[in-house]
Amino acid sequence: MSTLGERHTVYQQAQASPEFAQLRHRLRRFVFPMSAVFLVWYLVYVLLASYAPEFMATKVAGNVNIGLVIGLLQFVSTFVITTVYVRFANREIDPAAERIRHGVEGPA
Amino acid sequence: MSTTAVAAVTAILLVAVASTVIGAVGHRARRTSDFLVASRSVGPLTNGGAISGEYLSAASFLGVAGLVLRDGVDALWYPVGYTAGYLSLLLFIAAPLRRSGAYTVPDFAELRLRSRGLRLLCSVFVLVIGWFYLLPQLQGAGLTVAVVTGLDPWIGSLAAGVIVIATVAFGGMRSVTIVQAFQYWLKLTALALPAIVAVIFFFGSGHTFDRPAPPQFADRTTVDVGTDVELTGRTDTAVTVGPAGAVVDGVPVAPGTAQTWPAGSVHRVATGGELVFEAGADVPVPVGRPALDDRWLTPMAGDGDHQLLATYSLLLATLLGTMGLPHVLGRFYSNPDGRAARRSAVVVLALLGVFYLLVTLLGALSRFYTPQLLVSGQTDAAVLLLPTAVLGSGAAGAVLGGIVAAGAWAAFLATSSGLLVSLAGVLSSDILPGRAVADMRVRALKSATVLAGIVPVALATFVTQLDFAETVALAFAVAASTFCPLLVLGVWWRGLTAKGAIWGMVAGGALSVGAVSASLAGVAPDGVVGVLLARPAIVSVPAAFLTMIVVSLVTRRTRPANTDALLLRLHAPERLGLFRDRVERDDEPVDRPS
């Protein structure tokens, strides 16, 4: 398995490259703020529910009130964030990784 | 047996047979990697269906609707948490873990921290979490059988156990993937049909929940109390004790006795009691739950103590626990590449969302159609009883009831078989002897499957039955207190050491397992302690993270030497084309150009 040794060197080459550093940076800059946004969104709902019950009980239509609408929106927001993340990964991360790979190995 | 029972039993049998046949015909497991990750040959849509099918368990199918019936908007936290937990799994650890090539937590722990002791500890927690999770699945199967046939719940639990063990032992996971995708669509159909019918009837009835009154019995109703329950009403309630008698407030009451419960008084009714309510009577509700329909529609409307604490703790458990569930992680490996894995994730989130919306809707409608479950304590049966409550017990109600029962059955089969695959893998590779030779290992997996299944089946027959969604949340809490810190710190922090990981998991595990055991044993003091025993995550998760970090800092000299290279491998996008995971390395030439 000489390949393992070679592979190791390639790791280090890739790690040293500025493209790779930038790639990691970009990924982190996306993942962490996004997680913060979605956490805050959930926590705000709980806070509203306990401290602004009147607001949450505001009627929208028939049996539906604002609390219910925001509650159901939590599903929507989870889905939206996932979609945004997947788009981001396909658009930004994959092409950048491709470029690094070409740099390291030559065109495949 | 009634028409409903015949229809339901037929439908359940059909699901069981179909699952077993698809499983057996689908593939004969030959190699270990075939058995575990379906050789990665599954497309995003099928895989997304399978992930959802596996994830949506009895707790989701029955339990969530039951909680909505009882708690109203507050119950939304469970499905929101279950869904969002999947998102945090995707954002934080899915891709790095996939790149590591470790498809179980013990594999990852050993790869990352080079410690056999840690690996063994992880294996033990996989079993603990898996068994906590299997327990409500089997109890749910038992309840389904009990509700539709009147047989004892343990018969259903036992049958579910045998079928699941057989499917997994003989088919392996490739077959299970197809079976689970099939089961997702079956579950969705089983919810959508009654939801459509019930919505049409509901709007036809002109009823609204937007009124300051409790739910009412539509007809004269006899309620068999299924679990000890404390009831209270907003109005004076006239109750007649049924032919079976009842023990009310610790005093046996003779059949036929009429009682009036004054408004606001609390009455404890023991299991097995029979109460009769007249048509139009207000339905008493369990103590602490929203009694009036308009309160039920608003968040945090119950009278329970420390609701904010309880909600945050629940959220934490579900948000962080999903990534530590044994059967969820392995699923990412059955995608051919990272791109497909991400596409599967979007499919999964959409499928989960649709499913939970339907469950919530059914739970809400059951407050109108089956309010007697609030008295009997068996709110988990709401979805199962809704069809006959809406359509009556004629042919239409029987058929629809049968479909729902089949869907509930599919929910247990899907989750339980996925869990069993994971548990069997861990048992055979870490705990049972005879793991060295490849041929031996497939055989070892089969015996491990049987062993992994027997324990929860035995447990299911005598453990206190909580609401399913709550029991499952306990499994989430243990996962969030043990595997979540290990995975998150292992992937994102180079400072983690094996000792730190071990002590952190022991701390989080001891706190959460202790609390869970107390809850399952039925020990529930009032006040903050009671809330924390039922929802331990808000204490146990920070404790685990903190212990892990502090001990790692103290023992930082023992950091594995290859940490930097390993973390690079975890974080370098796989389309670099440099890294092959271990599964393929075992089966294929490493240097195949990609």
Both tokens of residue B54?
A: 């596996």
Confidence band of B259 (pLDDT split at 50, 70, 90): confident
| Model pLDDT for residues B223-239, shown as the tens digit of each residue | 888 778 888 888 888 88
Tell me phi and psi for residue B2, to 5 degrees: -75, 170
| For B341, nearest residue in chain A (alpha carbons) | A86
Identify any residues that bridge with B190 across adjacent strands, giving them in sequence order: none
**CA terminus-to-terminus distance, chain A:** 22
B287-to-B129, B216, B310, B377 alpha-carbon distances in Å: 31, 17, 17, 11
Establish if A22 belongs to a structural domain: yes
Q: What percent of chain A has pLDDT over 70?
A: 77
pLDDT of residue B26: 55
Between CA B30 and CA B7 the distance in angstroms is 38
The number of folded domains in chain A is 1
Confidence band of A102 (pLDDT split at 50, 70, 90): low
pLDDT of residue B555: 93
- Burial code of B348-359, b = ≥16 C-beta within 10 A, e = fewer? bbbbbbbbbebb
Q: What is the CA radius of gyration of chain A?
A: 22
Cβ contacts (< 8 Å) between B358 and chain A: which residues? none
Establish if A85 belongs to a structural domain: yes
Confidence band of B433 (pLDDT split at 50, 70, 90): low
Q: Which domain holds residue A58?
A: 4-102
Between CA B57 and CA B468 the distance in angstroms is 10
pLDDT of residue B222: 86
Establish if A108 belongs to a structural domain: no
pLDDT of residue B281: 87
Confidence band of B544 (pLDDT split at 50, 70, 90): very high
Q: What percent of chain B has pLDDT over 70?
A: 86
Cβ contacts (< 8 Å) between B87 and chain A: which residues? 38, 78, 81-82
Confidence band of B465 (pLDDT split at 50, 70, 90): low
Between CA B478 and CA B129 the distance in angstroms is 7
Establish if A35 belongs to a structural domain: yes
- Do B576 and A14 contact (CB within 8 A), yes or no? yes
Cβ contacts (< 8 Å) between B579 and chain A: which residues? 7
Confidence band of B583 (pLDDT split at 50, 70, 90): very low
> Residue A35 contacts by C-beta under 8 Å, 6 or more apart in sequence?
B88, B91, B92
Cβ contacts (< 8 Å) between A14 and chain B: which residues? 568, 572, 576, 578
Between CA B122 and CA B387 the distance in angstroms is 43
| Amino acid at site B481 | S
Query: Who wins on pLDDT, B71 or B554?
Result: B554
pLDDT of residue B310: 84
pLDDT of residue B507: 97
- Range of weakest confidence among B66-80, B301-315, B357-371: B301-315
Between CA A64 and CA B209 the distance in angstroms is 9
Q: How far is A41 from chain B (nearest CA, A)?
A: 11
The pTM of this model reads 0.84
- Range of weakest confidence among B105-109, B294-298, B416-420: B294-298
Those of residues 428-447 in B touching chain A at CB distance below 8 A are none
Establish if A67 belongs to a structural domain: yes
Q: How far is A15 from chain B (nearest CA, A)?
A: 7
Q: What's the mean pLDDT when you consider all of chain B? A: 81
Residue B125 has pLDDT above 90, yes or no: yes
User: Taking residues B267-285, what's their average pLDDT?
Assistant: 87
Confidence band of B579 (pLDDT split at 50, 70, 90): very low
Residue B461 has pLDDT above 80, yes or no: no
A100 with B576: Cβ contact below 8 A: yes
- Do B308 and A50 contact (CB within 8 A), yes or no? yes
| For B579, nearest residue in chain A (alpha carbons) | A7
Confidence band of B338 (pLDDT split at 50, 70, 90): low
Q: What is the CA radius of gyration of chain B?
A: 24
Could you say which of A46, A65, A78 has the minimum Cβ distance to residue B87? A78
Confidence band of B490 (pLDDT split at 50, 70, 90): very high
B83 with A75: Cβ contact below 8 A: yes
ipTM of the complex in this document = 0.75
Confidence band of B481 (pLDDT split at 50, 70, 90): very high
| Model pLDDT for residues B85-114, shown as the tens digit of each residue | 888 888 888 878 877 877 788 989 999 999
Residue from B51, B60, B73 whose CB has the most chain A CBs within 10 Å, to mutate: B73
**Dihedral angle of Cα B170, B174, B176, B179, to the nearest 10 degrees:** -120
| For B576, nearest residue in chain A (alpha carbons) | A101
Confidence band of B193 (pLDDT split at 50, 70, 90): very high
The owner of tokens 């990609």 is B594
Q: How far is B333 from chain A (nearest CA, A)?
A: 17
Between CA B417 and CA B16 the distance in angstroms is 12
Cβ contacts (< 8 Å) between A105 and chain B: which residues? 577-578
Residue B497 has pLDDT above 80, yes or no: yes
Between CA B554 and CA B532 the distance in angstroms is 30
- Range of weakest confidence among A67-76, B189-198, B330-339: B330-339
| Model pLDDT for residues B377-396, shown as the tens digit of each residue | 888 889 998 998 888 878 88
Question: B338-369 and A66-88 helices cross at what angle (nearest 10)?
Answer: 170
pLDDT of residue B334: 62
- Do B509 and B548 contact (CB within 8 A), yes or no? no
B346 with A82: Cβ contact below 8 A: yes
pLDDT of residue B211: 78
- Do B113 and B498 contact (CB within 8 A), yes or no? yes
> Residue B324 contacts by C-beta under 8 Å, 6 or more apart in sequence?
B105, B129, B479, B480, B482, B483, B484, B487
Q: How far is A99 from chain B (nearest CA, A)?
A: 8
| Model pLDDT for residues B11-46, shown as the tens digit of each residue | 888 887 777 677 666 554 444 444 444 445 567 788
User: Taking residues A7-26, what's their average pLDDT?
Assistant: 68
Both tokens of residue B520?
A: 């399952």
Between CA B131 and CA B114 the distance in angstroms is 27
Asked if the C-beta of B213 comes within 8 angstroms of chain A's C-beta atoms, the answer is: no
Q: Is A36 exposed, middle or buried (0-12, 13-18, 19+ CB in 10 A)?
A: exposed
- Highest mean pLDDT out of A62-66, B25-29, B322-326, B508-512: B508-512
Between CA B174 and CA B29 the distance in angstroms is 8
pLDDT of residue A38: 81
Query: Who wins on pLDDT, B381 or B547?
Result: B547
Q: Which of B430, B475, B452, B480 is nearest to B116 (CA)?
A: B430
Residue B435 has pLDDT above 60, yes or no: no
Between CA B307 and CA B300 the distance in angstroms is 7
Query: Who wins on pLDDT, B423 or B524?
Result: B423
Query: Who wins on pLDDT, B114 or B307?
Result: B114
Q: What percent of chain B has pLDDT over 90?
A: 18
Cβ contacts (< 8 Å) between A27 and chain B: which residues? 571
- Range of weakest confidence among B208-212, B518-522, B575-579: B575-579
pLDDT of residue B118: 94
A35 with B301: Cβ contact below 8 A: no
Establish if A19 belongs to a structural domain: yes
Those of residues 67-86 in B touching chain A at CB distance below 8 A are 73-74, 76, 79-80, 83-84, 86
Those of residues 260-299 in B touching chain A at CB distance below 8 A are 294, 297-299
Residue B130 has pLDDT above 90, yes or no: yes
- Burial code of B50-78, b = ≥16 C-beta within 10 A, e = fewer? bbbbbbbbbbbbbbbbbbbbbbbbbbbbb
- Domains contained in chain B, CATH given: 3-202+301-576 (1.20.1730.10), 221-282 (2.60.120.1030)
